[in-house]
A = this chain, B = another copy of it.
C-alpha cells in the first residue's frame, strides 16, 4: 500500500492535462491540493494504529492485504465494513471522502463484465480481473466517469443532433477503440490515477456504439480535464484541518481518444449498459448509506457544539432538532446495514447489496440535505455569515473591540468562539458549502432516481394480494 506522499509524487509526475480558469495547471496547483489532502486521509488511515483494520481488506483475488477502497466486496462483512469505513473517513474529512468512487466502479465492473461474458462468451471479466489486481497492488485511486453531458434530455443518445452528447465509440481496430464525448461532474478526476468510464443509462439496439466502458490513466493522451476546484476559505490566522480539505470536479473530454482492448470492459453490448449503470449506482448508493450519516454527524456536531457555546443546549427546540437528526442519520445507516444483510451474490462472487434498502436509504439522505443544513442555520444565528473578516479580529485598533463583542459564555474564549463561528461560516456560506449541498442531493442519483428504482423493484402486487385476501376479493 502506498503512503500519501507516494500518491502525491505520482500525481506530480503525471502529464499536464488539467485546465482551470483558462489555464493549463499542474495537478498540485494550490487550488487542487485540498482535494489531494482529502484523498491522503484514505492512505494515512490504512496505516493508522486505530483504524488500519477498518481501512484495509484482504483481496479475494490475490490474498494480499489491500486498501479497503480497492476491495471488491465478497461477503456481508465486506459491505458492512465498507459502509463503516466511509462513515469514519467522512467524519475525518469533514465531508465527502471521495475515494469510494473508484471502489464502486470496480465493484460494478466485477459483476457486469462476468454477466456479459456469460451471455456472449466475451472475455471482459478476465481483463477486468487483471486490471483490478494491478489496481489493488499499486493502491490506485479511480474516478467514476459516468455522467454524460446528455444534450437534449428529450432525445435518446442516437437521436441527438450531435452524436457526441454521450460518450461513444467512433471506430475500433485490432488494437483498441477510439472514443469521443464528454462526462461532467467528475469528482476527483484531477487527482486520481485512473478514469473509469461507465455508460450513464439503458441503451437500445441502435445505440451499440454508446455501450462502452473502459479505464484510462487520468493523464492519457487526448483526454482533457476542465476542472472546478472548491474548498473552504483559506485561513490566514486560524489554521484548521477543515480548511486544508476540498475537492475538484471536472468536465472530462474524450476527443478521439484511443483505448487499448485490455482496458475495454464493454463494447457494443447495449443490453447490459443499463445494468452496468444501475449496478454502479447501487453500489454507490450503498456507500452513501455510510457517508451521509457522517454528514449528519457533522451537522449534529455543529448544532450541539454551537448550542453549548451559545448556552442554549437545553432548549427544547435544540433537543428536538438533534433527536430528529439522529433519526435521519441512523435510519440511513440502518438502510445500509439492511442492504448488506439482505445482499445477494453475483455470478462472479461479488456481494450485491439489497436494492430496495440502498435506495430508500440514499433517498432519505437526499431529501433531508437542505432541511438539515437549515437546522444548522437556525441554530447558528445570523452572525456567522455576517461576521467580520478574519483580519479584523487581529487588527490592532479594531481587533480588541471585535473580540470583546465576540465573547458569550465567559468559559469559552473569544478565539474558540471565533473558530467555531468561522467553521459555521465555511459550512453555511462558502461556495464550497454550496457545492456539497447540491452534491448531497445529486451524487449517486437524486431522490427522483431512487424513487424510480424503488418503483421498478418493489413488489406492489404482493401488497394488493394482502388486501384482496382480507377483503374477500377473488379474481
Residues of A within 8 A of B (CB): 19-23, 80, 91, 94, 147, 149-154, 161-162, 164-165, 182, 184-185, 187, 224, 226-228, 238-242, 249-251, 253, 255, 297-298, 300-302, 304-305, 308, 310-312, 316-317, 319-320, 322-323, 326-327, 330-331, 333-335, 337-339, 341-342, 356-357, 360-361, 363-364, 369-371, 373-374, 377-378, 380-392, 394-395, 398, 401-402, 404-410, 416, 419-420, 422-423, 425, 428-435, 437-439, 441-443, 446-448, 451, 454-455, 458, 460-473
Q: Are B334 and A441 in contact (CB under 8 A)?
A: no
Which residues of B lie under 8 Å from residue A298 when comparing CB positions?
Answer: 463, 466-467, 470
Given A391-B22, A441-B374, answer yes or no on A153-B316 (Cβ-Cβ < 8 Å). no
Q: Is the CB of B184 within 8 A of A377?
A: no
Contact among B338, B380, B461, B472 for A238, CB-based, below 8 A:
B472
Contact of A392 among B226, B322, B390, B434 (CB under 8 A): B226
Task: Tell me, in angstroms, the Cα distance from A109 to B228 when the chains sit together.
Answer: 50
Q: How many copies of the polypeptide does the oligomer hold?
A: 4
B326 close to A458 (CB less than 8 A): yes
In the bound complex, residues from chain B placing their C-beta under 8 Å from that of A249 are 382, 385-386
How far, in angstroms, from A390 to B469 measured CA to CA in the complex? 19
CB-CB nearest in chain B for A440: B377
The docked-state distance in angstroms from the alpha carbon of A239 to that of B473 is 10
Q: How far is the CA of A385 from the CA of B356 in the complex (A)?
A: 29
Contact of A322 among B19, B300, B455 (CB under 8 A): B455
Query: How far apart are A276's CB and chain B's nearest CB, in angstroms?
Result: 20
* Cβ contact within 8 Å between B401 and A255: yes
- Known contacts A337-B338, A386-B184; A311/B429 CB under 8 A: no
B370 touches A460 (CB 8 A): no
A310 vs B239: C-alpha distance in the bound complex, in angstroms? 42
14 contacting pairs across A/B (C-beta < 8 A): A20-B388, A23-B391, A80-B341, A91-B466, A182-B405, A224-B398, A226-B402, A242-B470, A253-B405, A298-B467, A327-B363, A330-B338, A378-B442, A380-B438
Question: 10 closest Cβ contacts across the A-B interface?
Answer: A429-B434, A370-B374, A22-B391, A316-B316, A240-B472, A249-B386, A334-B338, A301-B463, A301-B467, A423-B471
Contact B420 A429 (CB under 8 A): no
Give the distance to chain B from A294, nearest Cβ to Cβ, in Å: 8
Partner of A471, one of B152, B240, B434, B458: B240
Whether A22 contacts B360 by the Cβ 8 Å rule is: no
- Complex alpha-carbon distance, A469 and B419, angstroms: 11
Contact A455-B392, Cβ < 8 Å, known A241-B469, A382-B443: no
Who on chain B is nearest to A429 by CB? B434
Instruction: Tell whether A226 pairs with B437 under 8 Å between CB atoms, given A301-B463, A301-B467, A302-B467.
Output: no
The answer to whether residues A435 and B386 also contact, given A251-B405, A338-B338 and a CB cut-off of 8 A, is yes
Q: Are B334 and A360 in contact (CB under 8 A)?
A: yes
Contacts of A394 on B, CB cut-off 8 Å? 22
Contact B297 A21 (CB under 8 A): no
Chain B contacts for A184, CB-based, 8 A: 382-383, 386, 405
